[in-house]
């Protein structure tokens, strides 16, 4: 079964977060850290700090959009309060 992953990366350069989704989490993180992703190219190195899995693309896109809202950001800060 194929899964889609929603992930959050934190830049070690400026501590900012990047939220995205992918079918292949390991490859996508490597692409971010190799400078292959335009939006994070200048912010590497990046560290994976959170991920979730979904069974279909539509759910993953919906969840990614939610996590980018102010409510979603609060959820992540609460969820990772011991890390952050």
Q: What is the pLDDT of residues 46-61, one digit of tens each?
A: 999 999 999 999 999 9
- Alpha-helix runs per DSSP H in the chain: 25-33, 57-67, 70-79
**CATH number of 56's domain:** 3.40.1440.10
Position 62 in a domain = yes
The number of distinct structural domains making up the chain is 1
- Residue 66 within a domain: yes
84 pLDDT above the threshold of 80: no
Does any domain span residue 84?
Answer: no
The fraction of the chain above a pLDDT of 70, given in percent, is: 100
Q: Is residue 68 part of a domain?
A: yes
53: which strand partners?
Answer: 5
Total-model pTM: 0.91
Q: Which domain holds residue 65?
A: 4-79
* Confidence check: pLDDT of 1 > 90: no
Name the percent of the chain lying above pLDDT 90. Answer: 92
């Amino acid at each position: 079964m194929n899964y889609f992953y929603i992930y959050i990366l934190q830049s070690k350069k400026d501590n900012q977060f990047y939220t995205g989704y992918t079918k292949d989490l390991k490859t996508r993180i490597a692409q971010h850290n190799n400078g292959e992703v335009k939006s994070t190219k200048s912010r590497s190195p990046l560290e994976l700090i959170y991920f979730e899995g979904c069974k279909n693309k539509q759910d993953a896109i919906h969840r990614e959009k939610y996590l980018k809202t102010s409510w979603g950001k609060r959820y992540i800060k609460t969820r990772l309060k011991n890390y952050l």
